[in-house]
Amino acid sequence: MVERRAGSAEVRGSNPLRSTTLYMNIPEFGKKRSDEIRRDGGFGIVFNPKTQKFAVGEDDIGGLLRFFSGGVEKQEDIQKGILREVKEESGLYDFLHVENVGEVMTHYHNSLKKLNRVAKTTCLLIVLKSSRKIPTRLESHERFLFKWVSDLELRENWDLRNEQVGLDHWFYFLGKAINRLTDLGYVYLLNVKVKAHNSPTVVDVFNLDG
């Protein structure tokens, strides 16, 4: 369950934001490597307001919990590209609310493709209308299992796997997403059905087709 907080989101466990800098006025995360390949793209933080859980993929080797993501071509609209990746990798498609929560420059090791990357990464917050799914279309290197997890489970999983600080941008965007979900009224403290400013009604949120 996601905890509702006022102000900026608290990061439970270790503080991952050890070396945040700015690149062209946007945050920059991760450790630079000499053999990096530039590939811009993004990912979706997919939230089910009925269960208060996030949709992720769990790597079949190593168990890393990851958001559904992918590269986007230069001519492709970034939001359309990310939504396409989310649909193909998760099968989820019935979206209630989609918005861009920000972009960063990030340096990381792509464990699926075994490549060092640098990317301008865009994050979408995706709130589900229902958890209905269509068949997935995974590429050969995309070997993970679909899971529903809490924000605490995500942070604990990443804390154990972030020695090279390649996951720092995930911590950053998860905090921003939780703050935004709170503003929109989709996050509830201890499952108490309270209504936040400008939120949909409690009935709208908790009677979603799951």
Does CATH number 3.40.50.880 belong to domain 21-205? no
Q: What is each CA distance from 13 to 22, 106, 160, 188, 190, in whole angstroms?
A: 24, 22, 10, 21, 20
Question: Which pLDDT tens digits describe the chain residue by residue (210 residues)?
Answer: 443 333 333 333 344 444 456 556 899 999 898 999 998 999 999 999 999 999 999 998 889 999 999 888 778 899 999 999 999 999 999 999 999 999 999 998 877 778 898 999 999 999 999 999 999 987 777 788 999 999 999 999 999 999 888 899 999 999 999 999 999 999 874 333 333 333 333 333 333 344
Domain boundaries, the chain: 21-205
What pTM value is reported for the model? Answer: 0.78
Q: Any bridge partners for residue 44, and if so which?
A: 68, 124
DSSP 157-205: HHHTT-TTSTTHHHHHHHHHHHHHHHHHT---GGG-----TTPPPHHHH
Contact 30, 166 (CB under 8 A): yes
